[in-house]
């Protein structure tokens, strides 16, 4: 997934205008937010495809997900996201001199989408595979102790460290504590031609 993301970033061109945000009733928005990845990913196809590729791996893992592998799976996911952040930084360093003002604004949205939307969403997806209550019971811990020790919890400060100086102050890196009952994740894949495809983690 990380290598594909890097290849996509090599071909990526930042949008010069902000797309209109889809609207809907509060109930519809709530359902989409719980069951699907953030719609903001669709503005940046490298992030949308990267999300989909990560979910393919989680789909396969969920078919047979030993609890003993939970910490290792979380480490691999965090390493992949950290690598993606470094790819974003490399893209910025290469393109910053040529970016127009609208493109700089687009890049800011790109970074926010990664740090505020994609990373927390992947945490919820990980916990859909490895439920904190099950991991805590397996280790003989409370869920609070599990959170304190960071077991199966992504450390956002580590992930976004490479692009931290490019993020606005309102994004506060932290250990991600998702809702206690995450919904089954799904993903929409956005191609450069703006086509989409949904991927969901099947129940076992």
- 3-state class of 131 per DSSP? coil
Burial of 15 (0-12, 13-18, 19+ CB in 10 A): middle
- 3-state class of 188 per DSSP? strand
Beta bridge partners of 133: none
pLDDT tens-digit map of 7-62? 888 888 887 666 554 433 333 343 334 457 888 888 899 999 999 999 988 888 88
Say how many C-beta atoms besides its own lie within 10 A of residue 100's C-beta. 10
Report the C-alpha gap between 156 and 78 in whole angstroms: 9
pTM of the model: 0.71
Q: Please state the separation of Cα 61 from the chain's center in Å.
A: 17
pLDDT at position 187 is 41
Q: Are 88 and 9 in contact (CB under 8 A)?
A: yes
Question: In whole angstroms, how far apart are CA 60 and each of 53, 56, 129, 171, 204?
Answer: 11, 6, 10, 32, 11
pLDDT at position 200 is 46
pLDDT at position 35 is 56
Q: Are 107 and 14 in contact (CB under 8 A)?
A: yes
Q: Which two tokens stand for residue 42?
A: 């669709």
pLDDT tens-digit map of 75-125? 999 999 999 999 999 999 988 888 888 888 888 899 999 999 999 999 999
């Amino acid at each position: 997934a990380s290598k594909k993301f890097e290849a996509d970033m090599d071909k990526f061109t930042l949008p010069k205008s902000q797309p209109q945000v889809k609207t809907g009733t509060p109930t519809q928005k709530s359902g989409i937010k719980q069951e699907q990845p953030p719609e903001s990913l669709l503005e940046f196809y490298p992030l949308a495809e990267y999300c989909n590729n990560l979910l393919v791996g989680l789909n396969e893992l969920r078919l047979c997900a030993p609890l003993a592998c939970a910490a290792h799976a979380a480490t691999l996911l965090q390493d992949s996201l950290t690598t993606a952040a470094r790819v974003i930084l490399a893209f910025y360093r290469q393109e910053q001199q040529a970016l127009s003002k609208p493109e700089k604004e687009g890049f800011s949205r790109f970074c926010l989408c990664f740090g505020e939307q994609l990373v927390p969403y992947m945490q919820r997806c990980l916990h859909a595979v490895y439920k904190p209550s099950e991991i805590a019971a397996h280790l003989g811990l409370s869920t609070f102790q599990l959170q304190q020790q960071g077991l199966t919890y992504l450390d956002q400060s580590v992930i976004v460290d490479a692009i931290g100086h490019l993020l606005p102050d309102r994004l506060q890196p932290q250990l991600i504590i998702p809702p206690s009952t995450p919904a089954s994740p799904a993903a929409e894949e956005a191609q450069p031609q703006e086509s989409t495809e949904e991927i969901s983690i099947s129940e076992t």
